[in-house]
């Protein structure tokens, strides 16, 4: 008994469709895996070094020095060390861009403008040796600068 040509062609077409379907499923699974399971890679040239930084903020004719302690997981800004501060979780979301999520606030001058869970987005604008310039993304403000002071943070209280 011979199989009609039309049936053979149909069977060949079905085999090709099955092979193509399996191929497309494998590509889809690979794409889903790469999207869901890969952490964003941070450009190490932009990542802030762990350690102690200072930031100078002009307030009228005076200069306010903020002391910042940065680790892989946090960025803590102290107006008065261990007394008035904001603790933030830091997440690198792409090359040279990070978010700060407020975890704790003890500084009374910030309670009206910051809150627990507040997320603010930043990008590193420039790096010049130990001077890091960063800018708030959504406001496109003037860049702020952090000056790297070393690996040890002074934990004593300065009033």
Q: According to the model, what pLDDT value does residue 47 have?
A: 83
C-alpha 121/C-alpha 66 separation (Å) is: 19
CA angle 46, 51, 53 (to 5 degrees): 80
Q: pTM for this one?
A: 0.66
Q: Which residues contact 10 (CB under 8 A, 6 or more apart)?
A: none
Rounded CA gap, 45 and 141, in Å?
22
pLDDT tens digit sequence for 97-148: 999 999 999 999 888 888 999 999 999 988 888 899 999 887 667 778 888 8
Fold of the 51-150 domain:
Lipocalin (2.40.128)
Helices (H), the chain: 5-37
């Amino acid at each position: 008994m011979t199989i009609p040509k039309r049936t053979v062609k149909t069977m060949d077409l079905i085999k090709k469709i099955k092979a193509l379907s399996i191929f497309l499923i494998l590509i889809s699974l690979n794409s889903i895996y790469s999207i869901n399971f890969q952490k964003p890679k941070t450009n190490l040239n932009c990542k802030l070094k762990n350690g102690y930084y200072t930031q100078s903020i002009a307030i009228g004719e005076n200069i306010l020095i903020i002391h910042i302690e940065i680790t892989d997981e946090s960025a803590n800004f102290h107006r008065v060390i261990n007394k008035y501060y904001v603790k933030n979780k830091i997440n690198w979301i792409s090359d040279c861009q990070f978010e700060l999520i407020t975890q704790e606030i003890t500084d009374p001058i910030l309670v009206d403008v910051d809150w627990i869970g507040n997320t603010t987005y930043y990008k590193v604008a420039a790096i010049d040796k130990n001077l890091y310039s960063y800018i708030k993304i959504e406001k496109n403000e003037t860049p702020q600068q952090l000056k790297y002071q070393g690996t040890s943070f002074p934990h004593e209280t300065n009033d």
